[in-house]
Chains A and B, each alone.
Chain A
Amino acid sequence: AQSVTQLGSHVSVSEGALVLLRCNYSSSVPPYLFWYVQYPNQGLQLLLKYTTGATLVKGINGFEAEFKKSETSFHLTKPSAHMSDAAEYFCAVSDRYGNKLVFGAGTILRVKS
């Protein structure tokens, strides 16, 4: 069975600082990996996804993530945090034969001014 572990339920950074949100996955088959963001009282928005090919994936709003098979990780980074980045972030995994997403528990990002 697939699973996702997000380290840190809450992360706090200063505006302009590096954002690093950690995600480790478990999958018996080559996974597809996703990062979603959820703002209060809204649905989920896709930030980026890894399917095949280049392991460094660039997404919207300046976010990127690197698929590291040896570490079973897919950490999300952004060089410089902005106040508008404050939200909850979810890492998700799916196998290659369906679109059922298995989500991590989420990480709430707080950006301090």
Chain B
Amino acid sequence: KAGVTQTPRYLIKTRGQQVTLSCSPISGHRSVSWYQQTPGQGLQFLFEYFSETQRNKGNFPGRFSGRQFSNSRSEMNVSTLELGDSALYLCASSQWGEVQETQYFGPGTRLLVL
């Protein structure tokens, strides 16, 4: 099976712009979670989608949003980019989104905001 794929792998944006990142989960997986990784704050949970519904949300401002499509692919959007949004954005998938399952992480999208 192919692993979790994320596109694009690298992205450069300027302050005030918006960005959309994409995540394709492992075939058959219906849960997709997103994490932000920065040197200062570490790994932080953004949100989780299951069957096109947001099921869990972390403590991020409303500029961060996401969605999931019927094929389980997920996108996250960040509007009005700030310098502090520069980070590695990781997505992870699992079949049912249950805690005892293994979550499989993609390689991430590295976003640089100038």
Segment at the interface with B among A20-28, A61-69, A74-82, A91-99: A91-99
Known: A32-B99, A32-B100, A43-B4. A100 touches B58 (CB 8 A): yes
B94 part of interface (Cβ distance < 8 Å): yes
- CA separation between A98 and B98, bound complex, in Å? 6
Q: Looking across the interface, which residue of chain A has its beta carbon closest to that of B108?
A: A43
Known: A42-B107, A44-B105. A99 touches B31 (CB 8 A): yes
B66 part of interface (Cβ distance < 8 Å): no
Q: Looking across the interface, which residue of chain A has its beta carbon closest to that of B50?
A: A99
B103 part of interface (Cβ distance < 8 Å): yes
Q: How many residues of A contact B (CB 8 A)?
A: 25
- CA separation between A57 and B31, bound complex, in Å? 25
Which chain B residues (24-53) contact chain A, with CB distance < 8 Å? Answer: 31, 33, 35, 42-45, 48
Interface size of B as a range? 20 to 34
Show 30 residue pairs from A and B whose CB-CB distance is below 8 angstroms, ordered by the A residue: A36-B105, A42-B108, A43-B4, A43-B90, A43-B105, A43-B107, A44-B105, A45-B105, A46-B103, A46-B104, A51-B100, A90-B43, A94-B99, A96-B99, A98-B48, A98-B97, A99-B31, A99-B33, A99-B56, A99-B94, A100-B33, A100-B45, A100-B48, A100-B56, A101-B35, A101-B43, A103-B44, A104-B42, A105-B42, A106-B43
Chain B interface (Cβ < 8 Å from any Cβ of A): 4, 31, 33, 35, 42-45, 48, 55-56, 58, 90, 92, 94, 97-108
Chain A interface (Cβ < 8 Å from any Cβ of B): 32, 36, 41-46, 49, 51, 90, 92, 94-106
